[in-house]
Amino acid sequence: MKFIPIRSRRGFTLMETVIAIGVLALLLTAFLAVFGPATAGLRKAISVQEADRLAAALERELVTVRPDTSADYKTGFDKAYQWIEAASTDSESIFLYQYRGIPDQIRSDGSMEPFATGGGVAGKDFIVQPAVRKRDDPLFLEDLEALEGRIFTSKLTQLEFNQGQLVKREGQGINQDPNDTGDTLGGTGSDAYVEAVIAFAAEFYIIPTSDPAYVKPGGKFDPKNLEKPVFTRNLAVRR
C-alpha cells in the first residue's frame, strides 16, 4: 500500500502581506477619490436646505402682522422696516429656531402652544414648527421649553446703491433714499421710505447654547460678540 505524503499548509509570507496591504490602500484611495466629493456634496446640500429654511422663515415673519401686534405695525412692510432698523442697531436680537407645537392649541398671536412635556408622537401630539421671534418676546422663552435643534440669530443690514452696486449700509438705521434719487416723502419711519423695496443682508449665526438663561433678556448673549456668520443671504421685502 502506497502512502501519499500530505503537504503541510503554510501561511502568508511577509512579502505577500505587504503586497495585500498595499493593494487595499490603493483601492481605498481610489474609492475616496471617486466618492469623497459626492459625500461632501451631500453635506453641502443638507446645509443649503437648512439655510433656505431659515431664510424663508425670516422673510415670511418680517411681513406677517400677527393678531396681537396689529397696533404696533400698520402693514407687513412697516413691520419689516422696524425690524430691519432695530436689528441694525443691535438693540433687538432676532432668533430663529424650531419647536414642538400642539396643533389644536393656538395662542393669541396665531402660533401653536409649545408641547413641553416629554414623549409624545410627532404628527399627532405635536408638530415641529419654525419660529422667528425677537429676544424680548415673552413667547420666545416659552417656545424654548419645547425646542427642537439649534437656535440661530440673524443680523439685518440694509443694502443701498453705491457707485452702481448694492453694498451694506455703513452705520445704523435705514437710509430713506437708498438709490440716492433725491426724492422725499415726508413723514417718519416706513411712511418716509421712498422706494417700494427694502433690500437687506441677513447674516445668520449659530447660538453656542440653547440654555434659556443664556439668550433671555439680560442673559450673557451679546450680539456684539458675534464673529463669522455661518451663511449670509441678500433678501428683500416689498410694500
Concatenate the DSSP letters of all residues of 174-189 into one string.
--S-TT-------SSG
> In whole angstroms, what is the distance from residue 177 CA to residue 175 CA?
5
Give yes or no for a contact between 104 and 123, defined as CB atoms under 8 angstroms apart: no
User: Whose grid coordinates read 443671504?
Assistant: 233
Q: Is residue 197 part of a domain?
A: yes
- The sign one gets for the Cα dihedral 12, 16, 21, 24 is negative
Give yes or no for a contact between 199 and 239, defined as CB atoms under 8 angstroms apart: no
Counting the structural domains of the chain, the total is 1
Cell output for 33 = 477619490
**pLDDT tens digits for range 141-195:** 999 999 999 999 999 999 988 877 888 888 788 888 888 777 777 778 898 998 9
Give yes or no for a contact between 55 and 166, defined as CB atoms under 8 angstroms apart: no
Q: What share of the chain is helix, strand, coil (3-state, %, to 5)?
A: 35, 25, 40
User: Does residue 199 have a pLDDT over 90?
Assistant: yes
Give residue 84's pLDDT band: very low, low, confident or very high (50, 70, 90). Answer: very high
Q: Is residue 187 part of a domain?
A: yes
Q: Is residue 78 part of a domain?
A: yes
Identify the H or E element spanning 120: none
Distances (CA, A) of 114 to 51, 56, 64, 109: 24, 22, 20, 13
Output 2 or 140, whichever has higher pLDDT: 140
pLDDT of 106 reads: 95
Q: Is residue 107 part of a domain?
A: no
* Domain, as residue range, for 189: 61-94+151-238
Q: Is residue 120 part of a domain?
A: no
Give residue 101's pLDDT band: very low, low, confident or very high (50, 70, 90). Answer: very high
